[in-house]
């Protein structure tokens, strides 16, 4: 895929932003069919794939990045080597370094926020730009979100694609091996894991993993995304409660750990805050839905799990 400079797309993106190898672990769920309002159908290839769709399915890699000039080139080059990827899009979220130029030189399409708006906004901008590049004669691209600091290991996110491509899951989540130099005691991970389990019935292994592949339908159902570091927790809760299917897939990935110094501690404190905000917002939403159901006794709750 040749390098590209997307001036028109970049302008529109500014406007959008301003407005071990073990088998995958799968949560079994059902989702409401978008073909018949209110109906419930099992997730099968017959209900989600048209004949010949799989052979024409493309994948877009979306990389939210801020001040990643040292590692973004290797990440982009590795992402371009993933099968079925025909578009690597870097969303420069207000970097103060040369991230956008390095990424473009490495072969990525680059759009830029004029100031830092956070990961969720970068993901939404990236998905919107991908949608503008989709064509009516082919199915919408699958969206593969990865971090900008993965470097050469980014190619190892490839196993996230097949479960979504084949229709056995609506979104896949990377399980990373232990990271050298990682800090923390698992407090944030534990809080996110317990919240997801309580609200969906599924206990993920790595609830904060940001490397994910989704169908366009699943991504749209998860928007608006939770802000800050709560984006992954909020997305998982929202999609599972709507009946979408998730799978965790081991991936040999390496990224920059947060460490145990003051900066790392502040990072984890911000993570904890944002996860709690995302969870609490969804608890309030669920309570409001329960009240509405009580006031409308004829309504039936959605079936989300077998």
Angle, helices 119-133 vs 231-241, to 10°: value is 60
List CB contacts of 171: < 8 A, sequence separation 6 or more.
Answer: 164, 212, 213, 214, 215, 218, 239, 244, 245, 246, 247
Which CATH number goes with the domain that contains 168?
Answer: 3.90.550.10
> Cα separations (Å) of 116 from 1, 65, 76, 240?
28, 10, 21, 29
**Joined tokens for residue 229:** 């570091």
Q: How far, rounded to the nearest angstrom, does the alpha carbon of residue 242 sit from its chain's CA centroid?
A: 16
For residue 226, being part of any structural domain is answered with yes
Residue 250 lies in a domain: yes
Non-local CB neighbours of 268 within 8 Å, separated by 6+ positions: 183, 184, 187, 188, 258
Q: Does residue 300 fall inside a structural domain?
A: no
Position 300 confidence tier, pLDDT thresholds 50, 70, 90: low
Give the pLDDT confidence score for residue 232 in this predicted structure.
97
Token duo for residue 54? 């799989």
Give 192-240 pLDDT, tens digit per residue.
Answer: 999 999 999 999 999 999 999 999 999 999 999 999 899 999 999 999 9
For residues 29 and 304, is the Cβ–Cβ distance under 8 A? yes
pLDDT at 162 over 90: yes
Question: What mean pLDDT is predicted for residues 147-151?
Answer: 96
For the chain, what is the domain count?
1
Q: Domain for residue 305, yes or no?
A: no
Answer whether 102's CB lies under 8 Å from 70's CB.
no
- Mean pLDDT, residues 286-304 taken together: 66
State the helix-helix crossing angle for 262-295 and 187-200, rounded to 10 degrees.
Answer: 10
Give me the sign of the Cα torsion angle 142, 119, 271, 223.
negative
Between 35-44, 86-95, 221-230, 239-248, the lowest mean confidence (pLDDT) is in 35-44
Mean pLDDT, the chain, whole residue set: 82
In a domain, 43, yes or no: yes
Position 183 scores a pLDDT of 54
Domain-embedded: residue 1:
no
Report the distance separating Cα 159 and Cα 156, nearest Å: 7
Within a domain: residue 2? no
Q: What is the mean pLDDT of residues 272-276?
A: 94
In a domain? residue 270: yes
Q: Which domain holds residue 235?
A: 7-295
């Amino acid at each position: 895929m040749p390098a590209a400079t997307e001036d028109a797309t970049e302008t529109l993106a500014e406007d959008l932003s301003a407005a071990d190898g073990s088998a995958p672990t799968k949560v079994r769920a059902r989702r409401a069919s978008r073909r018949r309002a209110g109906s419930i159908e099992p997730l099968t290839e017959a209900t989600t794939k048209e004949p010949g769709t799989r052979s024409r399915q493309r994948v877009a890699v979306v990389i939210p990045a801020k001040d990643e000039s040292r590692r973004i080139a290797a990440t982009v080059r590795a992402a371009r080597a993933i099968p079925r990827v025909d578009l690597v899009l870097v969303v420069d979220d207000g970097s103060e370094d040369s991230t956008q130029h390095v990424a473009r030189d490495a072969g990525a399409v680059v759009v830029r926020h004029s100031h830092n708006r956070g990961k969720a906004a970068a993901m939404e901008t990236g998905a919107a730009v991908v949608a503008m590049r989709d064509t009516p004669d082919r199915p919408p691209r699958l969206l593969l979100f990865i971090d900008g600091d993965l470097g050469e290991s980014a190619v190892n996110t490839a196993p996230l694609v097949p479960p979504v491509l084949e229709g056995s899951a609506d979104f896949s989540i990377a399980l990373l091996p232990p990271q050298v130099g990682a800090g923390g005691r698992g407090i944030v991970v534990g809080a996110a894991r317990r919240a997801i389990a309580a609200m969906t019935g599924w206990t993920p292994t790595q609830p904060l993993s940001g490397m994910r592949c989704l169908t366009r339908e699943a991504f749209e159902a998860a928007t608006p995304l939770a802000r800050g570091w709560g984006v992954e927790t909020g997305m998982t809760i929202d999609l599972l409660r709507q009946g979408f299917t998730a799978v965790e897939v081991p991936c040999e990935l390496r990224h920059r750990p947060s460490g145990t110094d003051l900066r790392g501690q502040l990072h984890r404190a911000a993570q904890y805050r944002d996860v709690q905000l995302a969870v609490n917002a969804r608890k309030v939403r669920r309570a409001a839905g329960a009240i509405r159901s009580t006031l409308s006794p004829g309504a039936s709750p959605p079936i989300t799990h077998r």
